[in-house]
Structure 1
Amino acid sequence: MKKLPIGIDDFKKIKEEGYYYVDKSLFIKEIIDESAEVILLARPRRFGKTLNLSMLHYFFEKRIKDGDNIDLFQGLKIKDAEQRYLEKQNKYPIIHLDFKDVKANNWSNCFANLKRIIAKEYKRHSYLLDAGLLLEYEEKEYREIMDLSANLNAYQFSLKNLSEHLSQYHQQKVMILIDEYDQAIKSGYMNGFYEEVVGFMRSLLSGGLKSNPNLAKGVLTGILRVAKESIFSGLNNLVVNTLLDKEYDKYFGLLELEVKDILDYYNLNYKSNEVKEWYNGYSFGENIVYNPWSIMTCIRKEGELKPYWINTSGNELIRKLVIEGDSEVKGDLELLIQGKTVKKKIDENIVFGDIDKKGSSLWSFLLLSGYLRAKNKYMEEARLYCDLDIPNKEVKYIYEEIILNWFEDKITSQNLKLMLKSLTTGDIETFTVVFKEFVINSMSSFDVGGDEPEKVYHAFVLGLLLNLRDRYKVKSNRESGYGRYDVMIIPENKSKLGIVIEFKKLNQHQNEDLETAVNAALKQIEERNYAQELLSQGVTGVLEIGMAFSGKQVKVKSKNINK
């Protein structure tokens, strides 16, 4: 039985050492047929981008030594392609830069990482130094890049210069392969050096890919498309392909039949339905695909179903966006966790700096990075809209863990249990004390105005949704713009209390105080007859709770209704 290639993304190693390989070699044919000079393939992490670029590398590279790698492709679909495709094998000098491991907390460390990656590729082509083609200053700069002593300008133009040297030596245009081009940019966004890293990457990539007479083709991968004006300024020869496009859709992730073959091979076909619920659901173009990392790891664990992607895909950014998102984001997240869809305008031209500022950028990022699925997509007035949902159990688990971990940061486990117990048993006095502590700990010390209080109350409801899900159904309804928000907690055991909570934000323009506001909240519950809805479902007792809030101040009142 073949070994599983978990964490192995070197095509040659997989083929030579007999690992299980899903044949995606016709991707090579698609790249050859691509009319664009430069193509950016944007897909989520761990969906086969690095392995596909490695395959391109071994197929196209014109080797100086160690053979031609022809045997690696024996038995694969590409070998049955027309001769005009096979003639491209081992034809091009290759520049291959892999930025997927560039993670740094400041620009100095990030630049040091980038320098090492570029230096490694220069060393791989160090035979150029013995060819007698480089001018004295070019040879000096080449050696300085390799020993990491070159200046910033030299590294910015390193891609362009190396392509020129290789083309001159081989008398052949160069293919440039760049993996996870936006990883360093993401680090910059997360750690406060966004402008520096964007400036560097713009110079590096534009130099190698824009109007470069030595370029045969460039293939880049990343998570985001990223607006042309932010990175690929003036790069008119660039075509961008995202998971919303049907081109290349079958080459990233695992298709249904491919997963069936894998499960059959490892005698786990009886798990197919459960595996589908956990790891299927990603929509790439016209195909529904599985997460390959999770599938391979699940098989290695003999079919144990659990979240495997959670520790691999940079969830720190997702956590930041979910926790810091405004009340509308948290309200939409409630709907998503309950299995519903949300309609959002999608902007494929994302700028990292706008993700937490523009709603369309946030939802586009979550979609393009694999944390949401486009269940339906359609155009309205030349704008793309999608009905978004959570693709599978694994991704739902990630959202749930983010929320639950945030709760644990704001309230001790003991107090969380006390708050939930006092709420569900009707001990409003205890609940109020613990809830007020939660509000104070959750709210920013510097921003108690604006949307901040509502964000906290939405987060509280998300916590209720997850912490009570085994015993209660939690329904919520928000009235955008009115500062009102109601929650209904319906017990599975009808002898337990049903609970209705009405949140009301203080209207200071009407000189409203907390007492007036909390009474208005209780009156709202009465007028809308929420208690009757619960009683009609067989619940024997209903607790009505009004909550009024202004900044960190909150007032709670309650009323019991019995059948």
Structure 2
Amino acid sequence: MKKIIPIGVSDFKKLIEGNYFFVDKSLIIKEFINNGADIILTPRPRRFGKTLNLSMLKYFFDIKMKQDFENNKLQNECEDLEQIDIEADNRPTDTRILFDNLNIEKEEDIMKLQGKYPTIFLTFKNEKYQCYEDFKDGITLLLSNLYKEHDYLLESDKLSVFDKEDYRSMISRNVSIAYLSNAISMLMGYMNKHYGKKVMLFIDEYDVPIQEAYIKGYYDEMISLIRTMLTSALKDNPYVQKALITGILRVAKESIFSGLNNLEVDTILGYNFNDKFGFTPEEVEELLDYYDASTELNNIREWYNGYVFREQIIYNPWSVLNYLKRRNEGFMPYWINSSSNDLIKKLLVKGDQYMKLELESLIEGKSITKGIDDNIVMSEVENSNENIWSFLLMSGYLKAVKTENIRGRLYCELKIPNEEVLIFYENLIEKWFLETLTNQKYELMLNTLITGDIKVFAGLFKDFVINNLSYFDVSGKEPERVYHAFVLGMLVSLSDNYKVKSNKESGYGRYDVMIIPKDTSKIGIIIEFKKIDDFLDDTIEEATRDALKQIEDKKYAQELIENGIKNIIKLAIVFKGKTVEVTM
């Protein structure tokens, strides 16, 4: 009987004991231990195995689970308490058994550390709320449950009466904001007193509350609490042995990690841990071979491969596993559909005309090169295209096919990673159109254009412009956003039967838009856009003549002619303020 495909199983013990297929990432334990930094931040896209890896680290190091098993097992087997002490150091524990036959078992020096440290594992992945008060209540409950998980400390003779009184207050959630802010640090102190050892700390998805608060509008209040909580746990904390923190972004400039001299950040642009999250090609091939799906490798590569974590090719693990579980349903955008993608959509809609022009190139399968800043500042992410491209890269919506360090700054050649993410962009663009026009009007506008019914097209296009000027939150002085939204829409909607190009060379110049039919009997279209500033005396008629003359003088039709297109329409679309005219 085949092992179960582990969809959504993020508890390492459950996965190993439950006969699930495990893609062995256990050498992350060795890399974590051998890393010289005390505190390590490893940002990775969502659903790339962060929670499972941290769960595995927890089970590897946790001293309590080892002691619980030893005590229960030996007390059942032995009458003599002295014999218990003798055998305790020699018998394997259940947590030790979890690592049998894994790659880490071959590392004898690392295995000596198994079950030797008090351990805290905390995940923020579900901390998504509508307002700050709900967020504060949610964090209080999260920490209360964490304290309950370690309530054996209330029986410890190493903790004072006052320690235990404070401990019970946290469990009952009857604490001040000051106590809440220091709850993780205080728990580590209690564990250190009890065990006489420093604590291993693992924090998962620390930036989920940050992104959610940014979207929902309570960012400033939330960031103050998160900053204090994490800083108290990590900065100059004498109880930390080592810590690993995961999330999607670095957000270091938020001062969350300021002053941490012992912090190392390993993003997807770094070499460290570059094969520990997501599936490598070798791991995917082994997985497909086990489930008799090797013949699907090329399709899986096209749909779910494409990520590059500093020279390491990586497949999207969530989508690969979901496809194997639902092979009869065919290839689907599983990763894209596993989240609302609200923040990504918000950023793309807010992007200016230059961003939309570059998005056109990406959808056409081309690349763009951008300076990338992995220090994302959530409160400033909308302020520049550079921030948005950096966010898209770190979040998994773009890949860096090439990375160069030029005078201390990283420049990345960016592309859309695979078919699954391309579908996301295409769906987003169609949504832009459908939110400004009804589906019927949208289809009619494009159909009248490609069939040459320019009079009807002109009326529908004017409606589109008016609605889009409002949708993209710009004035009539910036019709370029509307123009590029229009081109993006055509790229997506006409791609089956037409090639849509923009700002490309033909003849003696660069045209704005060209629509090239794959069927040479159909109409080819050249569109030249002109913008007239309100304060100029130029008329729409003059601008129209200039646009059409430019098409003729620059011989823009040459590319269509060379493609065998004989029926060619030349259009001038002229903007002045919120007025637009379309002339054939």
If the length of structure 1 is used for normalisation, what is the TM-score? 0.95
Which residue is 1:181 aligned to? 206
Which residue is 2:226 aligned to? 201
Mind listing any 5+ residue stretches in structure 2 that lack a counterpart? 71-92
Distance in 2, matches of 1:6 and 1:178, equals 22
Which residue is 1:423 aligned to? 449
Which residue is 2:68 aligned to? 65
**Aligned-pair distance for 1:378?**
1.1
**Aligned-pair distance for 1:107?**
1.2
Which residue is 1:45 aligned to? 46
**Aligned-pair distance for 1:523?**
2.3
Write out per-residue CA displacement over residues 291-317 of structure 1, whole angstroms, 9 at most, x where no aligned residue.
000000000012621211112245111
Q: 1:501 aligns with which of 523, 527, 533?
A: 527
Kept in 2: contact 1:448–1:551 (CA 8 A):
no
More displaced stretch, 153-162 vs 133-142: 133-142
Which residue is 1:81 aligned to? 107
Distance in 2, matches of 1:314 and 1:87, equals 43
Change (3 A) 1:177 1:529: same
Distance in 2, matches of 1:447 and 1:190, equals 18
Distance in 1, matches of 2:29 and 2:339, equals 26
**Aligned-pair distance for 1:95?**
1.4
If the length of structure 2 is used for normalisation, what is the TM-score? 0.92
1:321-340 map, 5 Å: 321-340=347-366
Aligned alpha-carbon RMSD (Å) = 1.8
Distance in 1, matches of 2:195 and 2:472, equals 61
1:295-374 map, 5 Å: 295-302=320-327, 304-374=330-400
Change (3 A) 1:419 1:85: same
Note if 1:266 corresponds to 2:269: no
More displaced stretch, 203-212 vs 298-307: 298-307
Write out per-residue CA displacement over residues 447-484 of structure 1, whole angstroms, 9 at most, x where no aligned residue.
543775321221111000100000100000189xxxx9
Write out per-residue CA displacement over residues 416-467 of structure 1, whole angstroms, 9 at most, x where no aligned residue.
1110111001111110111111122222279543775321221111000100
SS in 1 for 2:212: helix
**Aligned-pair distance for 1:533?**
2.4
More displaced stretch, 533-542 vs 247-256: 533-542
1:530-545 map, 5 Å: 530-545=556-571
Which residue is 1:106 aligned to? 131
SS in 2 for 1:419: helix
Write out per-residue CA displacement over residues 372-412 of structure 1, whole angstroms, 9 at most, x where no aligned residue.
11111112232211110011111111111111122111111
**Aligned-pair distance for 1:219?**
0.5
**Aligned-pair distance for 1:140?**
3.3
More displaced stretch, 51-60 vs 365-374: 365-374
| Count of paired positions | 553
More displaced stretch, 130-139 vs 19-28: 130-139
Percent pairwise identity = 46
1:122-521 map, 5 Å: 122-228=147-253, 230-302=255-327, 304-444=330-470, 447-449=473-475, 452-477=478-503, 486-521=512-547
Distance in 1, matches of 2:512 and 2:573, equals 10
Question: Which letter does structure 1 place at the counterpart of 2:18?
Answer: E
Change (3 A) 1:524 1:46: same
Change (3 A) 1:227 1:551: farther
Question: Which letter does structure 2 place at the counterpart of 1:503?
Answer: F
Change (3 A) 1:30 1:537: same
Distance in 2, matches of 1:59 and 1:220, equals 16
**Aligned-pair distance for 1:66?**
4.2
More displaced stretch, 181-190 vs 511-520: 511-520
**Aligned-pair distance for 1:229?**
5.0
Distance in 2, matches of 1:116 and 1:514, equals 64
Change (3 A) 1:144 1:519: farther
Distance in 1, matches of 2:69 and 2:128, equals 33
Which residue is 1:14 aligned to? 15
**Aligned-pair distance for 1:247?**
1.2
Distance in 2, matches of 1:485 and 1:329, equals 19
Write out per-residue CA displacement over residues 120-139 of structure 1, whole angstroms, 9 at most, x where no aligned residue.
11110111122244445443
Distance in 2, matches of 1:74 and 1:144, equals 41
SS in 2 for 1:317: helix
Distance in 2, matches of 1:54 and 1:444, equals 47
Q: 1:115 aligns with which of 123, 132, 140?
A: 140
SS in 1 for 2:5: coil
More displaced stretch, 362-371 vs 304-313: 304-313
Kept in 1: contact 2:159–2:194 (CA 8 A):
no
Change (3 A) 1:447 1:183: closer
Distance in 2, matches of 1:341 and 1:129, equals 58
More displaced stretch, 522-531 vs 39-48: 522-531
Distance in 1, matches of 2:579 and 2:158, equals 74
Which residue is 2:87 aligned to? none
Which residue is 1:561 aligned to? none
Structure with larger Rg:
2
Distance in 1, matches of 2:476 and 2:154, equals 62
Note if 1:24 corresponds to 2:25: yes
**Aligned-pair distance for 1:504?**
1.6
Kept in 2: contact 1:535–1:541 (CA 8 A):
no
SS in 1 for 2:210: helix
SS in 2 for 1:148: coil
Question: Which letter does structure 1 place at the counterpart of 2:3?
Answer: K
SS in 2 for 1:254: coil
1:548-563 map, 5 Å: 548-558=574-584
Change (3 A) 1:346 1:468: same
Which residue is 2:74 aligned to? none
Kept in 1: contact 2:153–2:190 (CA 8 A):
yes
Kept in 2: contact 1:243–1:249 (CA 8 A):
yes
SS in 2 for 1:205: helix
Question: Which letter does structure 1 place at the counterpart of 2:370?
Answer: K
Distance in 1, matches of 2:504 and 2:541, equals 22
SS in 2 for 1:422: helix
Distance in 1, matches of 2:172 and 2:476, equals 52
Kept in 1: contact 2:117–2:200 (CA 8 A):
yes
Kept in 1: contact 2:511–2:526 (CA 8 A):
no
Write out per-residue CA displacement over residues 268-312 of structure 1, whole angstroms, 9 at most, x where no aligned residue.
111111111111110012210100000000000126212111122
Question: Which letter does structure 2 place at the counterpart of 1:88?
Answer: L
Distance in 1, matches of 2:158 and 2:578, equals 71
SS in 2 for 1:40: strand
Write out per-residue CA displacement over residues 200-225 of structure 1, whole angstroms, 9 at most, x where no aligned residue.
11101110110011110111001111
Kept in 2: contact 1:327–1:451 (CA 8 A):
no
